[in-house]
Amino acid sequence: MPDIERLVNDFVAKLSKRKVEGSQATSRLTAELLRSVVSLQRLPPTNSAAVLIEAVSGIGVKLVAANPVELAVGNIVRRVLHIIREEDLSLLTSKTSDLDLSAASDDEGTIDQDYDPTQSAAAAAAAAKSFLRPPSLHALLENMSDKAVPSNNYTSSSGGDSEEKTKADKLARTRKLKHDVIEAINILIEDIDTCHDLIAEQAVEHIHQKYLPFACTGKCVFILLCTLHISSNIVA
């Protein structure tokens, strides 16, 4: 798919050339890229989660290799993979619970029907009446027509209907999986946007007034080490 490859190559070029700076910007752009990948990825009716995980994992390897120092890329990729597995498990659990509920309702209906005395008495009376009464000509003709029609026609039609229903259910489940994963990634992007504001608001409560927090980049650390080395040589 050229659309996905073009998006991935553009972002890989930005990461390799250090055009994206900061963990927040990197995390957001990575999540947006993976959201586009999930949206554009074609999924089969079966094993859709496995195909989606394989696609995201392959793209994640390329992104991490483009800039191994930036840890935010790998964290977002792992988070999206966790989202896919979580949503797939949620759909599987809901489907299993629906099957259990339908089976339980069928069992209850069967038990109620078996223990209904009115229906049992009526069925016994009808069976006795039909056994004692000789078959009519209309009934004989109906039986002959039923025997003349091959039974495999009904089997094939019912089998075709069940296959179409199964295929439709699988397609609906695939669409539901993709929709749920995209919605979860949207929530992740919102969390990325708001996490820095929340940290800034809570920093006043967790950091004492006597302490002065500061962050050093790699360049600042290098300059600091060089300064200390020069100072130690002067003192010596």
At 23, list the tokens: 């963990």
Cβ–Cβ under 8 Å, residues 33 and 20: no
Spell out the domain ranges in the chain.
Answer: 2-151+166-209
- Could you tell me the end-to-end alpha-carbon distance of the chain, in angstroms, rounded to an integer? 64
Taking each helix axis from N to C end, the angle separating 23-40 and 152-206, rounded to the nearest 10 degrees, works out to: 170
Q: What is the DSSP letter of 203?
A: H
Give me the phi and psi of 209, to 5 degrees please.
Answer: -65, -30
Task: Look at the block and give the residue holding tokens 């609906």.
Answer: 172
Q: How far is CA 81 from the centre of its chain?
A: 9
The DSSP element (H or E) to which 109 belongs, if any, is helix 71-114
pLDDT of residue 165: 73
Give me the phi and psi of 115, to 5 degrees please.
Answer: -100, 15
At 73, list the tokens: 């890329």
Per-residue model confidence as pLDDT tens for the chain (236 residues): 458 899 999 999 999 998 988 889 999 999 999 999 999 998 888 888 999 999 999 999 999 999 999 999 999 999 999 999 999 999 888 867 655 555 555 555 555 555 555 555 555 555 555 544 444 444 444 554 554 445 454 455 555 667 777 778 788 888 999 999 999 999 999 999 888 777 777 766 766 666 655 555 555 555 656 666 565 555 55
Cβ neighbours around 49 below 10 Å, total: 20
Task: Name the amino acid, one letter, at 166.
Answer: T
**Quick one: 185 exposed, middle or buried, by C-beta within 10 A (0-12, 13-18, 19+)?**
buried
Q: What is the DSSP letter of 133?
A: S
Give me the phi and psi of 133, to 5 degrees please.
Answer: -85, 135
pLDDT of residue 202: 73
Give the helix ranges, DSSP H, for 17-47: 23-40
The pTM assigned to this predicted structure is: 0.61
* Distance of alpha carbon 38 from alpha carbon 57, whole angstroms: 12
pLDDT of residue 130: 53
pLDDT of residue 168: 81
